[in-house]
Amino acid sequence: MPFISKIERQSDYNLFPSSTPIVIDNGASYFRIGWAGESEPRVVFRNIVQRPRHKVTGETITIVGDHDPALFKYFDCSRSGPRSAFENNVVSQFEIMEYVLDFGFDRLGANGSEINHPVLITECVCNPVQSRRNMAELLFETYGVPSIAFGVDAAFSYKYNQQQGVCAKDGLALCPGFITTHVIPFVDGEPIYKGCCRTNVGGFHVTDHLKQLLSLKYPYHFARFTWEKVEDLKMEHCYIAPDYASEARLFQKGAKEAEEKTRCWQLPWVPPPTEQPPSVEEIARKAAIRERQGQRLREMAEAKRSSKINELENELQGLDFLLHQLDQVEESDIPSFLSETGYVSRQEIESAHNKVTQSLRKAKGEPKNEQVEAEKADLSTDEKYSLINIPDDILTPEQLNEKKKQLAIKSMSEGRQRLKQKRYEEELERERKQQLEEEKRLENPELYLEQLHAKYKDLSERVDQQKRLKTNGGNTNGNNLSGSVGRGERLNAAQRERMRLLTTAAFDRGKGEDTFGARDEDWQLYKLMSKDNNDDDEGPDEDEAELARVSSRLVNLDPTFIPKSEAGTSQPAEVPRSRPLTKEDFQIFLGLERSRCPEILFNPNWIGVDQAGLDEMTGVSIRRLGYKDEGFEERLTSSILMTGGSSLFPGMVERLESGIRMLRPCGSTIKIATALNPIMDAWRGAAKYASDSQFHTQTFSRMDYYEKGEDWLRNYQLKYTL
């Protein structure tokens, strides 16, 4: 099976005799494997498996534990995320567990198909017999292990620290692990499983809670919050507050202590390059390049113009020769001559001659003769509309249709010319007025500005009055109260005339008979009624246009002028201007989140887990033992050992001690100690236990498994005192 990993393979596997046990700490977070009697495990990796496919070949590979992120360039990991063999700290996915064991034995240096060493493997407290049976079946059937022993990781850690003098024989082991948290009471050095207590909250939930909080706080940096990075942030910055309520109030007030407790994580950020002003030499060099490019373009344009002039001269000479030949041809031979040349008539040849002559003059840059151009325009107009002045009685039906088309085209052309001339005259008038206003401003700027303000005020009041009349008929009386008026009183003169025509047109012929539209005079009346369509309801009138012009003028001349917003109109929202990203935009601040996330170990209900917190679990465990001796309870609370990865949070011991003290009688002795190495002590205790000469008495062989069966595994329990 192909494995991809950065963990090196051990080479001294064959140096150990077959009687040397292999010790496995099968944790939900990390998998540790090594030899009995050693102080450190040989191989450590995350207890996860990922099976992505190659993007090109489609081959499926197995990635166990930590991997290089550069592999994502070649493998598609979107369809196969990291998977764990654990479910609530119990091994349930044994297919994944087989991948993990294959990889662990391979990196330990095993060569053959069987493992000929006894195996000591850890499990959770009160592990279900089905999980234990499947694990034994996997080790016996797949790997050929000669014998197996199962032990609890927290118990091995407690025994190891007891031997080092950290804790006593009677005490409590508190193990906040990766997925769950356990409390195990010890009496005379042996765990009492009937007094165990468990909560389904651990380091995994703390990391997940921190990831959710950061994603909600900085949604635009969501991709940065990978599981590995958030795990590092948790272990580096999170702590347990002595009193979370006081801590939250501290951050709510924004006190100086809160600022001191806030940590900043700077994301990778590259400042945008600053543009330096070009030097004199650079400016001169670019100017020389532009000059050379311009000269090259001018030469190309001159060559193209010369070529075009030559082509036009040749074409003009050909047309002159053609006209000269046409003059010498007899009248009867003209149609046949024209058919050979491709032209229809002499007029077409002359029109082409005029066009070529005009193009040639334009190419040579000769000035236009306006009189000649006007005469040519008249001639072209006469040729274009040749049927307009001819009487209808001498035209054929086809020519009559053509005459109608010419009349329509000529009227539209003349209309466009008139509109163009009108716009030109309006532009000239506008420029003249602007010039006069500018002269007035230069003569007396203060007086001009005062007059402009007065004009703006007058126009503004007039426009406001018109809008009030349109909306609510604001006919004010002497008391400045809005009076109620009818529709007719709110209309201007043109609108009232149109309404009068509409109401009388249908019945002005007597006897109420509706005959409107039967005669041609009715359509003239219809045109009159619809003549004033562009009224105040459809567009701005002259006062509004003048108000906008005066307002724009005041904005340019008077910096203190603020235009009054028009009543009844909504101002368009200002488009937010984008700014360049700065270093502060890539900073992640960890404030209250530092203590809020690990607080769920004491308040699991914050994440929807209705179970006891870490401090309450000690009281539950003591009550489950059923001892009435207060001295015994004193011995338990005076030797409490904290082990497991989640016990490394700063302030954990102080917070746990204050929580337990609230549950115990006044004056009770409470002593809490942290394991020498809360992460590695479970494996070290198991390795030391497996190196004892009596270890073989606590194992069961393959033959025992086949003969005694599942019921024997149900009652199997390791003795930790040899």
Q: Of 119-133, 363-377, 423-437, 646-660, which range is least confident?
A: 363-377
Topology alike, domains 13-47+85-152+681-714 and 203-265+590-674: no
CATH for the 13-47+85-152+681-714 domain, from 2.60.40.1930, 3.30.420.40, 3.90.740.10, 3.40.50.10470: 3.30.420.40
The rounded distance, in Å, linking the Cα atoms of 224 and 340 is 81
pLDDT at 688 over 70: yes
Closest listed residue to residue 211, CA positions, set 236, 182, 232, 181: 232
The separation between CA 62 and the C-alpha centre of its own chain, rounded to angstroms, equals: 32
Mean pLDDT across 677-696: 94
Q: At what angle do helices 614-625 and 652-663 cross, to 10 degrees?
A: 50
Mean pLDDT across 418-441: 86
Helix-strand-coil percent breakdown of the chain, rounded to 5? 55, 10, 35
Q: Which two tokens stand for residue 597?
A: 């996330």
Please give the biggest Cα pair distance in the chain.
146
The rounded distance, in Å, linking the Cα atoms of 100 and 389 is 103
CB proximity list for 572: less than 8 A, separation 6 or greater: none
Every domain of the chain and the residues it spans: 13-47+85-152+681-714, 203-265+590-674, 282-364, 384-461
Q: Which band of pLDDT confidence, cut at 50, 70 and 90, is reported for residue 455?
A: confident
Q: Of 201-210, 456-465, 528-537, 617-626, which range is least confident?
A: 528-537
pLDDT at 610 over 90: yes
pLDDT: which is higher, 370 or 221: 221
Closest listed residue to residue 75, CA positions, set 91, 90, 88, 62: 62
In contact, 523 and 516? CB cutoff 8 Å: no
pLDDT of residue 352: 85
The single-letter DSSP state of residue 60 is B
Q: Of 355-369, 375-389, 658-672, which range is least confident?
A: 375-389
Would you say the C-alpha torsion 371, 374, 380, 383 has a positive or negative sign? Answer: negative
Mean pLDDT across 66-89: 80
Model pTM above 0.85: no
pLDDT at 372 over 70: no
Mean pLDDT across 414-432: 87
pLDDT: which is higher, 251 or 550: 251
pLDDT at 160 over 90: yes
pLDDT of residue 530: 60
CATH for the 203-265+590-674 domain, from 3.40.50.11540, 3.40.50.10860, 3.90.640.10, 3.30.450.20: 3.90.640.10
Mean pLDDT across 170-176: 95
In contact, 182 and 711? CB cutoff 8 Å: no
Which pLDDT tens digit goes with each residue over 302-332?
999 899 999 989 988 988 888 888 888 887 7
Mean pLDDT across 172-181: 95
Q: Which two tokens stand for residue 695?
A: 């270890």
pLDDT of residue 328: 83
pLDDT at 403 over 50: yes
Half-sphere exposure of 625 (CA within 13 A, CB side): 22
**H/E element, 64:** strand 63-64
Which pLDDT tens digit goes with each residue over 24-50?
999 999 999 999 999 999 999 999 998
pLDDT at 620 over 70: yes
**H/E element, 448:** helix 445-472
Annotate 185-202 with DSSP letters as a single string: EEETTEE-GGG-EEES--
The rounded distance, in Å, linking the Cα atoms of 41 and 605 is 37
- Taken as a whole, the chain contains a residue count of 722
Pairing verdict, β 53-54 and 75-76: antiparallel
In contact, 206 and 184? CB cutoff 8 Å: no
**H/E element, 121:** strand 119-123
Q: Which long-range contacts (CB under 8 A, 24 or more apart) does 701-708 make?
A: 701/146, 701/147, 702/140, 702/145, 702/146, 702/147, 705/136, 705/140
The rounded distance, in Å, linking the Cα atoms of 55 and 77 is 10
Q: Which band of pLDDT confidence, cut at 50, 70 and 90, is reported for residue 401?
A: confident
Burial class (CB in 10 A: 0-12, 13-18, 19+), 183: buried
Q: Which band of pLDDT confidence, cut at 50, 70 and 90, is reported for residue 275?
A: confident
Closest listed residue to residue 104, CA positions, set 24, 4, 15: 24
Mean pLDDT across 214-237: 92
Mean pLDDT across 270-288: 85
The rounded distance, in Å, linking the Cα atoms of 354 and 349 is 9
Which pLDDT tens digit goes with each residue over 505-553?
655 555 555 565 556 666 666 666 665 444 444 445 678 888 888 888 8
Q: Which band of pLDDT confidence, cut at 50, 70 and 90, is reported for residue 459?
A: confident
Mean pLDDT across 658-667: 90
* Helix residue ranges, H only, 329-444: 334-341, 346-364, 370-384, 397-443
User: What are the angstrom distances between the C-alpha of 203 and each of 232, 260, 680?
Assistant: 12, 26, 16
Q: Which band of pLDDT confidence, cut at 50, 70 and 90, is reported for residue 350?
A: confident
pLDDT: which is higher, 307 or 567: 307
The rounded distance, in Å, linking the Cα atoms of 33 and 24 is 4
Q: Which band of pLDDT confidence, cut at 50, 70 and 90, is reported for residue 446?
A: confident
Q: Which band of pLDDT confidence, cut at 50, 70 and 90, is reported for residue 481?
A: very low
Q: Which amino acid is at 9?
A: R
pLDDT of residue 667: 85
Residue 567 backbone zone (phi > 0: left; psi -120 to 50: alpha; other: beta): beta
**Which of 59-68, 69-78, 421-430, 713-722 has the highest mean predicted lDDT (pLDDT)?**
421-430
Half-sphere exposure of 513 (CA within 13 A, CB side): 6
pLDDT of residue 513: 57
pLDDT of residue 73: 76
pLDDT of residue 560: 78
Q: Which two tokens stand for residue 694?
A: 């009596």
Which pLDDT tens digit goes with each residue over 550-566?
888 888 777 778 776 54
Q: What percent of the chain has pLDDT over 90?
A: 43
Q: What rounded mean pLDDT belongs to the chain? A: 83
Mean pLDDT across 435-456: 84
Which pLDDT tens digit goes with each residue over 85-103?
999 899 999 999 999 999 9
Q: Of 287-291, 341-345, 624-628, which range is least confident?
A: 341-345
Q: Of 200-204, 339-343, 485-489, 554-558, which range is least confident?
A: 485-489
